[in-house]
Structure 1
Amino acid sequence: MHPAMPTKARSTRVDNAYERLKTEILNGQLPPGFQAPEPDIATRLGMSRTPVREALIRLEADGLVDLVPRRGAKVLPISLQDICEIYQILSALEALAAGTACRKAGDETLAEIEEVLNEADDALERQDIEAWAVHDDRFHRLMAKASGNLRLEAEIEGFLDQVYRANTVLLRLNKAPASNAADHRKIVQAIRDGDTDGATETARLHRLNGMLRMKDVLQDCGLSHV
């Protein structure tokens, strides 16, 4: 056996544990406040403790869990302040991505983005808000990628996980998106037109208005975190 293979196999197991736990956290299957010892989590996944421990360390770095000595991992909530800070940061980062995409994005990339928007519209018509959330997340990731700036894309994606998690809660409370879905098409059209200022400003306001709407819904429901 090649000496690198055990390390590669362990890495694969860690990635698998990480993705499974992350998906359950983002979808709310492991809700805020959920806590379990590492052995219980390993049993839940049908895996040994070592890859699970490494996966939990990665999730802690993502801000999704807190590792408590002798008590295991605890899923962290997202506070209203967290949400506002994340949306404010994204308003700047995604505005930069949209403006940069005016110079970088080709027709094939924009066609892929528009196809995602069509699927999102179909989901809204079916009142399938969970499917809409998946397509919305995909749109924002593709927009980040369209910038052609790998570091910018990575920064944006790090925040989008938290946005998706907050969105799933808000959609269940509000039964509708927090932000104006029509803004997405305005951004894409501005990119097609080479309108850097229009794409930048629409993307910026889209996030800020979404933040205000989410803030209103959570406050109306008496929630300080999700």
Structure 2
Amino acid sequence: MSDSMISRLSVSETPQPARRSTDAVYAQLKQHILDNRYPPGAQILESEIAAELDASRTPVREAFVRLQQEGLLEIVPRHGVRISALSPGDMREIYEVLMSLEPTAVELLARRRPDRAELAGLIASCDAMEAALAGAADLQAWAAADESFHLNLARLCGNKRLAGMIMQVWDQAHRARMFTLSLRPLPVQSTTEHRAVVEAILAGDVERAREIYHEHRKRGGLELTTIIERHGIQRL
């Protein structure tokens, strides 16, 4: 066998790096959208995403379809995708849904009478929120703890379908929450409300837990919608 044939054989047998799967592309693309790395209204070509994420076009295209179904982008034929904007009307609708779904999750959890061990994740999130606001407020740390609280609460409710619906709507609100984080008042009241919900659940006070949470969501939705009306997330 000639040296050139051996060389070609060696190259052909060299393992090539695996291209990224649809799930991996979907997860990273979604996170970029939620974190406003791809801002609302931005138009992005399929080829650009494929190059940035080191993926072939097929998983990128499949990820686009999934994200369009979730309302995070719009596929524009021959022009890639446009990242969905959030209007004040969108936020009102999102928080109306959350005000319906999340208090039910709180009620289901409270009715089970969980102990402190089962609620350790929620308690830790409350501790982290309070710590983030102590001294020089760390709003990014507060937001991470706040998100952990809400997603853990959904998971703990015991109804997987309800939890899935909450998480999907929560994703749609994430970009707006991050956009308004530095524009809203210091979230001291919100932190206090989180702790009060946990204490009501531990006390077995189902109605109080549900009521506190409903009012928490109502107040928060109004606050975020007002900020978006004033500043406009579309201009992000």
**TM-score using structure 2 length:** 0.85
Partner of 1:40: 48
Q: Distance in 2 between matches of 1:20 and 1:175?
A: 31
Check 1:67–1:177 CA distance in 2 against 1; reply closer, same or farther (3 A cut).
farther
Pick the aligned partner of 2:224 from 208, 214, 220: 214
Q: Distance in 1 between matches of 2:140 and 2:116?
A: 29
Superimposed CA distance per residue, residues 181-214 of structure 1 (whole angstroms, 9 cap, x where no aligned partner) = 2111111111001101001111111100101111
What does 1:90-129 align with in structure 2 at a 5 Å threshold? Answer: 90-104=98-112, 105-125=114-134, 126-129=136-139
C-alpha deviation, 1:178, in angstroms:
9.5
- For the residue of structure 2 that corresponds to 1:173, the secondary structure is coil
Percent identical pairs in the alignment equals 37
Partner of 1:146: 156
Partner of 2:28: 20
- For the residue of structure 1 that corresponds to 2:175, the secondary structure is helix
Q: Distance in 2 between matches of 1:186 and 1:117?
A: 10
Superimposed CA distance per residue, residues 103-158 of structure 1 (whole angstroms, 9 cap, x where no aligned partner) = 23343221221011111222222422122112111101111112111111111111
Contact 1:102 1:191 in 2 (8 A): yes
- For the residue of structure 2 that corresponds to 1:74, the secondary structure is strand
The answer for unaligned runs of 5 or more in structure 1 is: 1-8
C-alpha deviation, 1:215, in angstroms:
2.1
**TM-score using structure 1 length:** 0.89
Is 1:169–2:179 an aligned residue pair? Answer: yes
| Bigger radius of gyration | 2
AA partner of residue 107 (structure 1): R
The answer for unaligned runs of 5 or more in structure 2 is: 1-17
Q: Distance in 1 between matches of 2:70 and 2:226?
A: 26
Partner of 1:135: 145
Corresponding residue pairs, total: 216
